Amino acid sequence: MTHQLRAEYGAEGRSGGIRMWHVVRDTDLTTALCGRRMGEDADTKPEEEWGTGLRGCQQCGSLYIHEVPFHPADWERSPR
């Protein structure tokens, strides 16, 4: 299963900037792992951006860690 990050905007919408990032599954891009409905036109980032200092939804992060115990970037670094 793969994921994406999707932006949640504040009360002003896009013009007010991104409030926080949520994690969505590629199979349902409009529902965050925390259950929040995401706009179809929300900005996206690859899941590899999770944990790089972006302000992220804590609940999405917790659920994401359970679904993906190893960050995709770690797969390339792990000894085989």
Burial 40-55 (b: 16+ CB within 10 A, else e): eebeeeebeebeeeee
Mean pLDDT across 7-36: 94
52 compared with 7, residue with greater pLDDT: 7
70 compared with 40, residue with greater pLDDT: 40
This prediction has a pTM of: 0.82
Mean pLDDT across 15-35: 95
What is the percent of the chain with per-residue pLDDT over 70, rounded to a whole number? 84
**Is pLDDT above 90 for 4?**
yes
At 58-76, the pLDDT tens digits run 999 999 988 886 655 665 5
- What gap in Å lies between CA 49 and CA 78, rounded to an integer? 18
**Is pLDDT above 80 for 1?**
no
3-state secondary structure the chain: CCEEEEEEECCCHHHHCEEEEEEEECCEEEEECCCCECCCCCCEEEHHHCCCCCCECHHHHHHHHHHCCCCHHHHHHCCC
